[in-house]
Amino acid sequence: MFFLDPFFYEILISGLLAGVMYALVALGFVLIFKASGIFNFAQGVLALFAALTLVGFQTGQIPFAHLLSLFGLHATHWGAGFPTIVALLFSLGVMVLLAWLIVQIVLKPLVNQEGIILFMATIGLAYVLEGVGDLMWGANVKELNIGLPEGPSEIILDATDMFIDKLEISAAIVAIVLVVSLTLFSQYTKMGRALRAVADDHQAALSVGISLETIWWIVWSVSGLVALVAGVMWGAKSGVQFSLSLIALKALPVLMLGGFTSIPGAIVGGLIIGVGEKLFEFYIGPLIGGATENWFAYMLALLFLLFRPQGLFGEKIIERV
C-alpha cells in the first residue's frame, strides 16, 4: 500500500512545502479582494518588483541605469550595497510608497466603477509595473540571497533518508507566521474591523468615520509586504527573473479552492494544490504520459467551480429573492 512506501511521505512533505509557497502568493490577492472587492491582476508583478528592488538595494544598483546611459552615465552600481536588513526595510518602504501611488493614481479616480473596470485597471498596472521594473533594475536574472539556510536539511536526511530543502522549511515558517498575524489582525483589531467594514459597505463605513483612502493604502501596503515576502522566497529558490510574475497564475487555482476572501483558505487551498499536484504526478502521471503538474491544479479548480464556487472557506453568495 502506498502509505507504507516511505517515498510517499517525502512527496507529501515536499508537496506541503510547495503548497505553502503558492499560498504566500494567494494571500496577497485575498487581502486586496477582501478589502476592496478588486481582483489584483498585478499581484505577481508586485512580488517581482519587490524582489527586484530588494536585490537592487542589496547590490547597490543604480535605478534606471539603462535610461541614464542614454545621457552618458554608464555606471550600473554605486559600488557598495546595503546590508540585508536595511535593504529589506527600504524595499518595504518602497512598497508602501508604491501602494500610496496606486491608491492616488489608479483607485481614487475609479472609485464608484464596476469591479470589472477596476480589474482591467490592475491589468494595466501589471504591465506598467513590469515595464518600470525592467527600466529601473534591468531584466537579467539576478541571484537573491538573504542568508536563508539552503540545501537539504541534514538532520532530516540522516534520520529518515528524506531530502527536504531547508529553504522551503523557512518559507513554511514565515508563511505560517504571516497568516496567523494577518488573521489575528483582521479579527481582533480596530483596523482589521475597519478593513472588513470597507469591504462590505462603503457608505456605511464612511458614515461611521472610516476613511476609504486610508484603508485602501493600508491594504495595498500589507499586500505589498506579502508580495515582498513571496518575491523573496521564490527569488531565493529560483532567482529573480521576469517569469516570477507568472507564479500569480498558479495562485488562481489556490484562490478558487480556498475562497477569494479567506486568509486561512489561501493556506489550505495552497496545501491541497501543492500536495495534490505532487502526488498526482508521481502516482498517476506515469500512466498518462507525465507532465501533469502543469494542468492538475487548474483541473481541480475547474471541479471546484462546478460544485462549490465559493471555495472551501469563501463567503457563500446568498441572494435574497
Partner 1 sequence: MEEKKKNNTIMEVKDITLRFGGVTAIEGVSFDILEGEVRAIIGPNGAGKSSMLNVINGFYHPQEGEVWFNGQKRGAMKPYQIAYQGIARTFQNIALFKGMSTLDNIMTGRFTHMKSGMISQVFWKGKAEKEEYENREAVEKVIDFLEIQTIRKTEVGKLPYGLQKRVELGRALAAEPKLLLLDEPMAGMNVEEKEDMSRFILDVNEEFGTTVALIEHDMGVVMDIADRVVVMDYGKNIGDGTPKEIVSNQKVIDAYLGVSHD
Binding interface with partner 1 (CB under 8 A): 185, 189-191, 193-194, 196-197, 199-201, 203-212, 218, 315, 318
Smallest distance, partner 1 to C-beta of residue 56, A:
28
**What span, in angstroms and rounded, lies between the C-alpha atoms of 88 and 79?**
19
Residue 103 grid coordinates: 491608491
Q: Which residue's CB is nearer to partner 1, number 201 or number 293?
A: 201
Q: Which residue's CB is nearer to partner 1, number 143 or number 315?
A: 315
Smallest distance, partner 1 to C-beta of residue 194, A:
7
Q: Which residue's CB is nearer to partner 1, number 212 or number 271?
A: 212
- 46 neighbors 119 (Cβ within 8 angstroms): no
28-62 burial by CB neighbour count: b if 16+ within 10 A, else e? bbbbbbbbbbbbbbbbbbbbbbbbbbbbbbbbebb
Length of the chain, please?
321
Q: Which residue's CB is nearer to partner 1, number 82 or number 313?
A: 313
Q: Which residue's CB is nearer to partner 1, number 123 or number 206?
A: 206
**What span, in angstroms and rounded, lies between the C-alpha atoms of 84 and 167?**
17
Closest by Cα among 60, 53, 110 to 83: 60
Smallest distance, partner 1 to C-beta of residue 174, A:
18
- 23 neighbors 273 (Cβ within 8 angstroms): no
Smallest distance, partner 1 to C-beta of residue 295, A:
34
Smallest distance, partner 1 to C-beta of residue 310, A:
13
Report the number of secondary-structure helices (H) and strands (E) in the chain.
13, 0
**What span, in angstroms and rounded, lies between the C-alpha atoms of 127 and 120?**
11
Smallest distance, partner 1 to C-beta of residue 184, A:
9
Smallest distance, partner 1 to C-beta of residue 104, A:
15
Q: Which residue's CB is nearer to partner 1, number 77 or number 193?
A: 193
Residue 161 grid coordinates: 533518508
Q: Which residue's CB is nearer to partner 1, number 52 or number 219?
A: 219
H helix runs in 60-165, sequence order = 65-69, 84-102, 115-137, 154-160
**What span, in angstroms and rounded, lies between the C-alpha atoms of 194 and 184?**
14
